[in-house]
Amino acid sequence: MTVGEVRVVRSAERAATRIGWLDSKHSFSFGHHYDPTNTHFGLLLVSNDDVVAPGTGFETHPHRDMEIVTWVLDGGLVHQDSQGNSGVIYPGLAQKMSAGTGILHSEKNDTPLSDGGHPHESAGEPVHFIQMWVRPDERGVAPSYQQLDIGRELASGGLVPVASGGGHDAAISINQRDAALFAARLAPGASVTLPDAPFVHLYVARGAVELEGAGRIAEGDAVRLTAAVGPRVTASSVPGGAEILVWEMHAAL
């Protein structure tokens, strides 16, 4: 294992937005939390850890020229957009929205349990999700939406390709040939090897892990690795294991 540089960003170090219906932690500059030294890593511009209260959410708002991937940890998030796409994003569902030339969408926690939906949905409970944005390699493409349940693949315990612009047989595609997102649900003590890439971003969405060469990485912590070759991630031995999100990037902004 070799790593050019490792930067651990602890959960407590991130900027936070806390209002009545939203608790959001930002890994990079976002909204009014501007930090010129922390605008992105590799191709990743946004990695927000959001908890949205029941019956609330993000009202209809615009996006343009951005690849947006949403990963739900708990609950169900209702997506609707100006292209006529709608659905509930739940744990294990890979989902992306390519904003392209422009799209309007809303994301709300207002799914009733009686809606006949997915068993992970929970009426009256917060929805917890990670939303990640990468810059597309071409501006002005047609907006698009895609989702696919990969819960069965995640049960294998290895790194599962979630989204990719090329080079991986991923569940969903993004318009960025130099980026790919992986997820893993690790049993206690289980390990995976991170991708070899100029830029690798590790986010511990649930539980805790040991990262070779960096030590313990707790829930909500992120690691930014440059020139990474084969570092191992091992879930802690406590019950529940860990869930991680890993971006492999071969270019930077």
How confident is the model over 82-107, as a mean pLDDT? Answer: 96
Domain that holds residue 77: 5-249
Q: How confident is the model at residue 167 (pLDDT cuts 50, 70, 90)?
A: confident
pLDDT tens across 176-199, in order? 999 999 999 999 999 999 999 999
pTM of the model: 0.94
Residue 21: left (phi > 0), alpha (psi -120 to 50), or beta? Answer: alpha
Q: Mean pLDDT for the chain?
A: 93
pLDDT tens across 209-242, in order? 999 989 999 999 999 999 988 899 999 998 999 9
In the prediction, which pLDDT does 115 show?
46
Map residue 12 onto helix, strand or coil. Answer: helix
Q: Give CA separation, 100 vs 70, 75, 80, 139, 249, in Å.
A: 17, 28, 16, 6, 20
Task: Check which CATH number belongs to the domain holding 111 and give it.
Answer: 2.60.120.10
**Sign of torsion over alpha carbons 120, 123, 124, 128:** positive
Write phi, then psi, for 213 (nearest 5 degrees). Answer: 90, -10
Measure the CA–CA gap between 163 and 183, rounded to whole angstroms.
10
Number of domains in the chain: 1
pLDDT tens across 29-51, in order? 999 999 999 999 999 999 999 99
Q: Check pLDDT > 70 for residue 3.
A: no
Measure the CA–CA gap between 154 and 51, rounded to whole angstroms.
23
Q: Which amino acid is at 128?
A: H
